[in-house]
A and B are shown apart, each in its own frame.
Chain A
Amino acid sequence: MATEYKLRMGDGKRIFMTKEQIIADLKEGMADAADLGEIPDLSEDEIDKLVEIVTMPSRMVGVEQGKEVPVTHDIGTIRIDGDQGNSGVGIPSSRLVGAMMHERAFGADTMELGHIDYSYKPVKPVIAQEMQTMEVCQANMVVPLLYGAMPNMGLYYTPDGPFPNPGDLMKAFKIQEAQESMQHAAEHLTRDTVWIMQRLMASGADGVNFDTIGAAGDGDMYASLHAIEALRKQYPDIYIEAGMAGELLLGLHGEMEYDGTVLAGLWPHQQAPLAAKAGANVFGPVVNTNTSKSSAWNLGRAVTFIKAAVKASPIPCHVNMGMGVGSIPMFETPTIDAVSRASKAMVEIAGVDGI
């Protein structure tokens, strides 16, 4: 009987696979990414290395010495205090305490301050509180402290915002009206993000994290890139991290362009150069985990996509690794066997600069 190895499904379920099955799944996942992104396959050596990582007997694995990379945390300031509603652990603490715990106990190389709503728009009415908290955190911390939130352009549409909901307009075949609504929302999102960051920079912020760019489609990316461009122009030394929401930039508008490139339908390796062009320091590519496939399939796919993004990116790539992305299972508390294997593969094969 062939030796079987412990793996996971994309939903976290424990499965057992033979080496031959693992290789087949790795190659199938790789082929899916190569087909969708029109990017190169991994080499046979890289597939061998992936097999080695997946089949390591240790429950938890790590990168080879000398290959360590920076680790950046989003929303970490409220992960301690937050409850399960936002992936927190429910330990009463201030955001300052949360940030300092990440800096001094958890080894975070950079940190971000985030608001409980974690979108830029809801920060506007509480900007004074955010400014004061940023100032207090900066006075107590050493690692670079960014301000982070989601662009979340959906908040600008009814019933949350002033503009007609493009989803409703599209269903009524009002395509031009839907596109106009997205254009207006994007302009407001850019304006709000810049306004918020002007105040947080005045309070000592080291930079900004655009977390989950594109969650509301190509308009969300359009607005974010223009905000990055404006912030880079006003603050030449600001540290800007541009992290994506998903692997494919959904074309809800379909015709929006940045620097002559249509944004809809871009894959990670096509997104990275635009983030760099706008003025970001770091790009955060994302590959979604398929819950119906094995971790081998997801890993082969994710590493193929991210390797191409790293190669195409003029700026460092800090890959998004967490629940449901980067081949990590869709599970509230992802298992360390899957997380550590995926992280090792991203560093040693895809060549990411950080996580």
Chain B
Amino acid sequence: MFKELSDAVVTCKKDVVTAAVEKAKGEGIPAPEIIEKGLAAGMNEVGVLFERGKLFLPHVMMAAGAMEEGVALLEADMPKDAVSKKLGVIVNGTVEGDVHDIGKSIVSTMLQSAGFEVHDIGRDVPLQDFVDKINETNANMVGMSALMTTTLPGQKEVIEMLKEQGLRDKVKVMVGGAPATQAWAEKIGADCYAENASEAVVKAKELLL
């Protein structure tokens, strides 16, 4: 049944997902398991297919929409504290001086599709705005993109600002963008580096769940 639920999400069709969820409920499978082992597993597969060029961004969004419909059918059966609970709150943006937008937006979309509450604050974002948005949304992760070697140091500066304002221990830091590397992430004290959008989702889950 879990495979059927997962495959339903990969079809990206709401009616297929809702039918699979109703069937799983009828078989007495607990709602949290339907979501975790079925629907969420399907979204993971959608992410893999996106990176392999087999599914595209509209499909990712359609699959996410279909999964939301499926989850809505299960809300009444979910433990009260689990209803509408997001996986985490993430502030995501491209650092000041850097106008690159598309890769960062794909990461935001994939994180949102995976169940995170994402606040995409755009590109060429003043560094203080990252800190302000973290405070405003009570975020537990910040994602910073930089596509140029000249703007990369902005990621380091935000980490320093988080330390100065006593936020560093409360917020996980993810960095990415073409010139960013694992070595760079380690050097500046980030919690992780993600090579692409799918890896960003995997790393965010590892750090926040």
* A residues in contact (CB < 8 Å) with B: 9-11, 13, 36, 84-85, 154, 157, 160, 165, 167-168, 170-171, 173, 175, 178-179, 215-218, 248-255, 264-267, 290-292, 324, 330, 332
Contacts and interface: CB of A to CB of B under 8 A. Distances in A.
Contacts of A218: 56
Interface stretch (B106-114, B129-137, B158-166): B106-114
A355 B102 CA distance: 27
Nearest to B62: A175
A209 B140 CA distance: 44
A85 B150 contact: yes
Given A11-B183, A292-B181, A173 B149 contact: no
A165 B61 CA distance: 15
A139 to B, nearest CB: 34
> Which 8 pairs between the two chains have the least Cβ-Cβ distance?
A251-B56, A167-B105, A265-B53, A254-B56, A11-B181, A291-B181, A254-B58, A264-B56
Chain A interface main SS type = loop
B57 interface: yes
Interface of B: 50, 52-59, 61-62, 64-65, 99-102, 105-106, 108-109, 112, 118, 120, 148-150, 178-179, 181-184, 195
A9 B102 CA distance: 27
Contacts of A324: 178-179
Q: Find the residue from A173, A251, A253 having the highest chain B CB count within 10 A.
A: A251
B53 A267 contact: yes
B102 A167 contact: yes
Given A11-B184, A85-B148, A175 B58 contact: yes
A215 B109 CA distance: 17
A257 to B, nearest CB: 13
A252 B53 contact: no
A255 B62 CA distance: 14
Given A85-B148, A167-B109, A171-B109, 8 more contacts: A167-B108, A175-B62, A218-B56, A251-B58, A252-B106, A265-B54, A291-B182, A330-B179
